[in-house]
Amino acid sequence: MRLGLIADTHGKLRPAVHDVFAAVDRILHAGDIGAAEILDELEMLAPVTAVYGNVDTGIMRQLPQVAELELDGFRFVVTHGDQFGSPEPAGLKAAFPHADVIVFGHTHQPLIRDLPDFTVVINPGSAGPRRFDLKPSVAIMETEPGIPPRARIVPLS
């Protein structure tokens, strides 16, 4: 399975996301969506699982704070992470010890961390307006039953 991972769109979906996510089977959005239209646009590419972030208001608050799903036999947790202050991989794993993959946002800093127990913790970075001198990015993750998930950060132009 090929997954598109995205976070912190803050109401802006860059056209490059369409190209990067053109062949994904599912999209996981880790919050700070900014507008319901973002999810509608992503849904045209693939089914979306999304959570709300700290700046999401109104209809976005109807989304869960944490989403848990199983894909290819792996237990995924998707959260914005703001409930943990400035989330870090070890703290997220402590909060979700059953997870095989944890997708989070909030910091806007892209990160892929493989933990000793083979858990993958990933922040795809911010796909929305450029902030904090960080380049916009998303991530692609590939899963296959019995093989550890593989992920990469994809910078957006």
Q: Whose CA is closest to 151, among 118, 106, 108, 116? A: 118
- Locate 126 and state its tokens: 């911010």
Which pTM was predicted? 0.96
What pLDDT, on the 0 to 100 scale, is given for residue 72?
Answer: 94
For residue 124, the enclosing domain spans 2-155
Per residue in 109-130, pLDDT tens?
Answer: 999 999 999 899 999 999 988 8
Tokens 């590419």 belong to residue: 45
Using CA atoms, how far apart are residues 20 and 15, in angstroms rounded to an integer?
Answer: 9
In contact, 62 and 44? CB cutoff 8 Å: no
- Mean of per-residue pLDDT scores for the chain: 94
Q: What CATH number does the domain containing 112 carry?
A: 3.60.21.10
Side chain identity at residue 156, one-letter code: L
Per residue in 18-49, pLDDT tens?
Answer: 999 999 999 999 999 999 999 999 999 999 99
Tally of domains within the chain? 1
Tokens 């991972």 belong to residue: 5
What pLDDT, on the 0 to 100 scale, is given for residue 132?
Answer: 74
